[in-house]
Structures are given as C-alpha cells and as structure tokens.
A and B are shown apart, each in its own frame.
Chain A
Amino acid sequence: MTALGLYVPGGSAVHRCPAGLKLAALSALSVVLFAVPTVPVAAGALGLVLLLGLAAARLPVALLGRQARAVLVWLVALAAVTAVVSGAASATLVTLRLLALVLAAAVVTATSRVSELVAVVEWLCAPLRLVGVRPARIGLLVAMALRFIPLVAERADRVREAQAARGGTARGVRSLVTLAVPLLVQVLQLAHTTAEALDARGADDEAPARALWRRT
C-alpha cells in the first residue's frame, strides 16, 4: 500500500537492511551520478535500482511506474531543454540520472517504515542537542509532514468541491486565492486540534533537551 507514506510491507533483504544504510547508499548514488556524468554510469545506476527494487525487494512494477509518471512532465521538459541547449547525449544523461535518483528514493521509502526513517533523522540531528534542540521533535515534525500532506490535499479537494457545488467557476490565479483562504482557515483549525491531541498523548512528557553548557 502506498501514499505519501510509501512503505510496502515485505521481508526481503532490502526491507531488512537498516534505513540508515539505505539512505547512505542513496546519498552515495547521488554523488556518483553527479561526479561521473556519463551515460553508461547513469544507465547502469538505473538498471541497478530497477534490479534492487523489482527483483530483490519484489516491489510492484506499478509502484515504480507511478513514481516515474509523477516526474514524467519534468523529465520530458528537462530532456527537451537539454537536447536543444547541449545535445541529445546530454539529454539522455540528464533523464537517466534523474530517473535513477527518483526510483532509488522510491525503493528506499517503499522498503523502510517511516519510523525507521524518522529514527535516522533523529540520529543525524542528535548533535543539535548541544544547542538545546530536541531531535525527537524534528523526527516528529518529519513524520507529521508525511501524515498531513495527503490530509491537507484531501481538505483542498473538499473546499474545491464545496465551491463547485455552489457554482464556483474561478480559474487560474483567482481559483488559487479562493481556495487558499478557506483552506488556510481549515488547516489552522486542524493544527489547533492536533496540538491539543499531541498534548493529550503526552508529547510534552519527553525530557526537555538541555544545552550542555547551561548549568541548572
């Protein structure tokens, strides 16, 4: 099952691999793709990603297809512009490189629970404790962003439907303005209740971070 939370349950070696290692591999792949800008490297990376995603992790083809479709317009536009400016070889390189990265990111998120990814974020942010920042709060922020993006999109759809049901026909920039105001009100109400829910579920129970140099 996917959504913005892309996790697809499974027991493959890719699923069992620590999320931190997968994120590190994703970062390394990005560096390699930009450090060695050749078509064979980009094509090889794409092949490797497909092999890992489809054969090793046994992810559905449709899932990777959806991820590719989501960036299709950008891929085509980028390839077209690059072809005109730098030629066909560069366009091929740019397309393969971007596609490999998008699909690699999809494989990582589809094989890692959000909690595992959040734990990595918290681990990476651990040094911020030195300046009094709570890494768990940053992790929660990431998790909540993933949770609320589809919810806000759903609320936006509801506002659009409500406007259409009452004859709303605004187009272009005007439609954005008429959507933004009621949506903002709804999101603020949602944020208020969610803040209460966080309190009610003990969000404040976590020991406050303390800057190391502060004497108490």
Chain B
Amino acid sequence: MRRRRPGSRAEPVADPARGIELRGVGHGYGDRTVLSGVELRLTERRIGVVGGNGSGKSTFARLLNGLVQPSAGQVLVDGLDTAVHLRAVRRRVGFVFQDPDAQIVHPTVAEDVAYGLENQGVPPAERGSRVAEVLERYGLAGHADHPAHLLSGGQKQLLAIAGVLVMRPARIVFDEPTTLLDLVNARRVARLIAELDQQVVVVTHQLDLLDGFDRVLVLDGGTVVADDEPTAAVAAYRTLMADR
C-alpha cells in the first residue's frame, strides 16, 4: 500500500464560506505555553491582531497557514484541517513575514516573484505574464532584473508581498508587515493591504494600520482577551498596556 506524506493528500473539497476556524487551539514550545484555548471563527475581510511582545501573535499567525501546527485543537481553513491538508491550506493562505530579507530567496526580483508559481507548476509563459503584471502593479517593473539585496527596505517589502500575491491566495496573513519600514513605506503597504480583495489577517504593533478593519483581536498571555470592532478593541488593548 502506498504511504502518503502528511499534508500531501489529493485536493480536498473546500468550503470558502467557513473561513478560518480555530477550535480549542493551544500551542507551546517545550514547557512554555504560548497559546491556549483559542476558539475563533474568522470570516471578516479585514482582521487585525494586536498584543504585547510574547503574547502569542506570531504563533497565532503561523497557525493560520500551517507553518506551526497546534499542540491542541484544530485549525481549519475553508473547512480543511491544517494538520491534514497542509499543501491545500498553504495554497489558500499566503504569508508575508516581518523581515522581507528572510522571505526573498532568489537573487533577482523577477526570479523571486516567479518562485511560488514554479512550485505551483504554472507553465513558463503564464508565469512570465503573471510576474510582469504583479511587478507592474507594485512599481517594481523597472527592477525586474535587479539584485534583490540592492532594493530599499520598502521595495523589499513590496517584493515580498508581490511574491505572495502572484500566487493568488484567497487569504493572506501579514506578520508585522510595516515594523521595519519608514512612514512613507508603511503608509504605502497599509494602502496596498487596504486595496486587496483577499481576506487579510494582519498582526501589527502599529495601531493606525487597523483603521477601516472589520474586526480586531487582542492577545495577551496566549489567549484572546478582546475581540471587537477596531475602536473598542484598540481601547481595550491600550487599557491592558496602561496597567503594565
């Protein structure tokens, strides 16, 4: 009998209406519990996640596309369990990291954007047109053949985002996407996120990034301590931090 690798099953049937579900999710590193008892259903288009350092935000973000597997409970994306249908989940959920340098894996801009498409088996001709289209949209067309490490910080973050968007995921998780950027580039990335059609989950310390969001979660000590519309959730977060 053929053995299957975890997460390599045939393309399962997904139900996009279900959104992202976390059922009794917990996670720990060794003896240290980072998240516990997280019970959520995320169907809104713009979702923010805030919390202090070590509150479990990054682990929470990584659970959503299976970069981290829960120690307890289940994470489902469109009804697909991240522990079972890992590849299908990752095709649905893009991930943008805080440090674009760690995300850019090819020496030149166009080659890096094409990387995810190669993995998806997109034919070279379509790959070329999709890469050109996304570079044009994000103002990187003139840098297609440039070495990635010579781009500015803002351009690198745009490149990292372009590398995810070209794969056309239905949902994108951003882990502190503006932390390393200056005001102008942070605004540019914020505008880009606001214009996306996809569902986005944004982990951030920059509270003005959450303007216009549908829902904001506040994490503290590995649990969700507030879950509300942005104004109320941010107020709860400020109160929480003021007490420290």
Contact = CB atoms under 8 A, between A and B. Distances in A.
A143 interface: yes
Nearest to A8: B145
B67 A196 contact: yes
Interface string B182-201: 00000000000000000000
B99 interface: yes
B94 A200 contact: yes
A212 interface: no
A54 interface: no
Interface string A169-206: 00000000000000000000010011011111111111
A202 B121 CA distance: 10
Interface centre among A194, A201, A208, A216 (most CB of B within 10 A): A201
Interface in A142-169: 143-144, 146-147, 150-151, 154
Interface in B89-130: 90-91, 94-95, 97, 99, 101-108, 111-112, 114-116, 119-121
Given A5-B108, A114-B108, A146-B107, A201 B145 contact: no
Contact of B116 (A4, A7, A202, A216): A202
Given A114-B111, A197-B97, A143 B105 contact: yes
Interface stretch (B33-41, B73-81, B146-154, B210-218): B146-154
Contact of B147 (A5, A193, A198): A5
Contact of B105 (A9, A140, A205): A140
B103 A194 contact: yes
A198 to B, nearest CB: 6
A147 B106 contact: yes
Contacts of A144: 105-106
A200 B145 CA distance: 24
A154 B106 contact: no
Interface in A112-138: 113-115
A197 B115 CA distance: 11
A157 B99 CA distance: 18
B150 A3 contact: yes
Contacts of A199: 67, 90
A1 B94 CA distance: 30
Contacts of A202: 87, 90-91, 116, 119-120, 167
Nearest to A5: B107
A114 B101 contact: no
Given A201-B119, A205-B87, A216-B2, A1 B150 contact: yes
A7 B97 CA distance: 27
Contacts of A206: 119
Nearest to B104: A147
B244 interface: no
B60 to A, nearest CB: 14
Contact of A147 (B67, B86, B145, B148): B148
Interface in B146-172: 146-150, 163-164, 167
A205 B145 contact: no
Contact of B65 (A115, A200, A203): A200
A202 B163 CA distance: 11
Contact of B119 (A9, A196, A205): A205
Contacts of B102: 190, 193-194, 197
Interface string A21-50: 000000000000000000000000000000
B205 interface: no
Interface in B54-93: 62, 65, 67, 86-87, 90-91
Contacts of A194: 102-103, 105
A76 B37 CA distance: 68
B5 interface: yes
Contacts of A205: 87, 90-91, 119-121
Interface of A: 1-5, 7, 9, 113-115, 140, 143-144, 146-147, 150-151, 154, 190, 193-194, 196-206, 208, 216
Given A143-B105, A197-B102, A204-B87, 14 more contacts: A5-B147, A115-B108, A115-B111, A143-B107, A190-B102, A193-B99, A193-B103, A194-B105, A196-B95, A197-B105, A200-B97, A202-B116, A202-B167, A205-B120
What are the 7 A-B residue pairs with the smallest beta carbon separation, nearest first? A5-B107, A202-B119, A193-B102, A200-B95, A3-B147, A197-B103, A201-B116
